[in-house]
Chains A and B, each alone.
Chain A
């Protein structure tokens, strides 16, 4: 009799457990929704991964298991990467893997993202002479920064870092302007707007550069850099730009030659001249000018990329540069995503 009572009681107890667990579900769903709205949900990294390498997957799983302790694990591993730097192994692959793990363990910590991107695009980049491998490091670094942005879309830091990488390393100025433009949507230091202006100036796109410098001056009338740049552009390059827009290419070249007479090695003037020749459809002359600009400044990767792109149009042997390879690969991906077929012939507006 007693045994029977106990059994019935046990059954009732387990039914109560089940009932409570069912009642728990709406509470759990509601809490989950609140956490989603407030951005408190634990990271769901798989959805944000761009590079599905083994290190990333390990980092994701380790992070998920560690839960609330992931941040302290990330801090400890970050100390280890510093040890690698101090012992001269900073540029090694194991250091990179460790950095990548840290980024995924604590994805809202900006420093590891920034350092990982920089490590790939700058340190590992110079470890090899092979342009294709360099382009691969650029791609990995840029993807790391993009991944970082997807975790931290409301902070300027990584937009700025990515914009700077495009500006300084890839020399893809429109892309740089895009990311730097995103950075200024959030609380940011003042120099970013000037950087955007510099980007358009280097491309060159003088009206856009002037717009940004004007903005800088309106914001801070004592901004000496913006004042100086505005004067230079208006005095030396705007006439040439206007002639070019009116399709008076010879007059534009004359104007820019005057600027070059004052400063023969000015990369800005050379870029401008190359751009005018391209607009005029004179690719042979454009190639010569971009080639001169490339030889003039060792770090003028933009000019080198232009040499490669125009050589391709002219059907000449294309010298390979990392940034050109990177940009071409990205364009090919975009074309593929847009469903375009046929050979990848660069259109004029690409330049």
Chain B
């Protein structure tokens, strides 16, 4: 790999970081603005060398190979039978909430949301991990990676192409599930709104519920983007099966990252070693729990777009960091 190509890859990452930083700047609080102004200045300074030839470089050289790899990955992924099986099964479960909700008298609406949203996220997780971990492993196994990398495609472009193609597949699958869930919810939910005949009180308010469910699905898409990145990165280091186990492990530990923060709290008597160790784990782990806003749905409270965008940007930052790690590992790997 030439140093020119490596430099091009580095710029690609820097562009993503700067974009995230600049968008973030628009939403940051006053307290945080100084940090992000500094971030923006550093980013712009790094961009100056590229500024003159940037459009030609970006659209003419950088993106086309990524786009081609992504498109091929997307088409190939849809031919995988296990993926189609998971999708069909997910749709059946989501549709079954139509009937299953009645099994829980008084909590029909909750059941409808639990099953619909839970199934969309759960099967999205399965597809993201099992597809993400197979994308590169299969290319190595079939030795097609040699042909690909012999062409003018850098490893970073190959990796990003695989990530984008994989994510597009997961996104499309989840979109089908989300639309199905939303249709079921829109039809059934109004029947369950006033279900407390004894008290006469409204069991659930639904002023913001439809919007909140759409927001929750949006966050689920962000979550799976992080998961696909994690799975692809893990597969650059481990065999696909171990990468899948590793991805599940990180996902479930990431769900409880807040525990590590609590355990490292000196006010709760954490020792100095525990503070450093658990504090580091908390800082390093992706916080997957932030993509869950089910509480807001059931309490029917507004989730402001600003807050939601911050969540999305944090997800984007996770993707950037994880893919950068993936690139560094993949660059060193013998294929």
List residues of chain B with CB within 8 A of the CB of A39: 295-296, 299, 301
Query: CA separation between A200 and B114, bound complex, in Å?
Result: 42
Q: Does A349 contact B (CB under 8 A)?
A: no
Decide: A34 and B199 in contact? CB cutoff 8 A: no
List residues of chain A with CB within 8 A of the CB of B292: 42, 67-68
CB 8 Å contact bits of A138-162 with B (1 = contact, 0 = none): 0000000000000000101000000
A124 smallest CB distance to B (angstroms):
22
Query: CA separation between A61 and B256, bound complex, in Å?
Result: 9
CB 8 Å contact bits of B193-221 with A (1 = contact, 0 = none): 00000111110000000000000000000
Query: CA separation between A32 and B259, bound complex, in Å?
Result: 13
A311 smallest CB distance to B (angstroms):
40
Q: Does A21 contact B (CB under 8 A)?
A: yes
Q: Does A231 contact B (CB under 8 A)?
A: no
Decide: A17 and B35 in contact? CB cutoff 8 A: no
Determine which of B111, B200, B259, B324 lies in contact with A20 in the assembled complex, contact meaning CB atoms within 8 Å.
B324
B134 smallest CB distance to A (angstroms):
23
Decide: B259 and A64 in contact? CB cutoff 8 A: yes
Q: Does A313 contact B (CB under 8 A)?
A: no
Decide: B307 and A34 in contact? CB cutoff 8 A: yes
Decide: B201 and A68 in contact? CB cutoff 8 A: no
List residues of chain B with CB within 8 A of the CB of A23: 21, 35, 39, 317
Given A38-B296, A40-B295, CB of A65 within 8 Å of CB of B103: no
Decide: B288 and A27 in contact? CB cutoff 8 A: no
Number of contact residues on A: which range applies? 35 or more
Query: CA separation between A9 and B289, bound complex, in Å?
Result: 34
A186 smallest CB distance to B (angstroms):
10
Determine which of B199, B200, B325 lies in contact with A17 in the assembled complex, contact meaning CB atoms within 8 Å.
B325
B residues with a Cβ closer than 8 A to A are: 3, 6, 10, 13, 17, 21, 24, 28-29, 32, 35, 39, 103-104, 106-107, 110-111, 114-115, 118-119, 121-122, 198-202, 252-253, 255-256, 258-259, 262, 283-284, 287-296, 298-299, 301, 303, 307, 310-311, 313-314, 317-318, 320-321, 324-325, 327-328, 331-332
Q: Does A187 contact B (CB under 8 A)?
A: yes
Q: Does A224 contact B (CB under 8 A)?
A: no
Decide: A189 and B200 in contact? CB cutoff 8 A: yes
Decide: B122 and A40 in contact? CB cutoff 8 A: no
B207 smallest CB distance to A (angstroms):
13
List residues of chain A with CB within 8 A of the CB of B303: 38, 40
Query: CA separation between A34 and B298, bound complex, in Å?
Result: 18
Query: CA separation between A269 and B126, bound complex, in Å?
Result: 68
Apart from A27-B24, A34-B310, what 9 extra A-B contacts exist at CB < 8 Å?
Answer: A23-B39, A27-B310, A27-B317, A38-B296, A38-B303, A41-B258, A66-B255, A68-B288, A68-B294
Decide: B328 and A72 in contact? CB cutoff 8 A: no
Closest chain B residue to A11, Cβ basis? B328
Query: CA separation between A66 and B253, bound complex, in Å?
Result: 9
Decide: A30 and B28 in contact? CB cutoff 8 A: yes
5 closest Cβ pairs, A-B complex: A67-B255, A72-B118, A189-B199, A64-B256, A68-B292
Closest chain B residue to A160, Cβ basis? B199
21 contacts between A and B (CB under 8 A): A6-B332, A9-B6, A13-B324, A17-B321, A20-B17, A23-B21, A24-B317, A25-B283, A26-B32, A31-B311, A31-B314, A38-B301, A38-B303, A44-B258, A68-B121, A68-B289, A69-B121, A75-B104, A78-B104, A109-B110, A187-B202
List residues of chain B with CB within 8 A of the CB of A64: 255-256, 258-259
Which one of A39, A68, A108, A154 has the highest number of Cβ atoms from chain B below 10 Å of its Cβ? A68
CB 8 Å contact bits of A1-29 with B (1 = contact, 0 = none): 00001100110111011001101111110
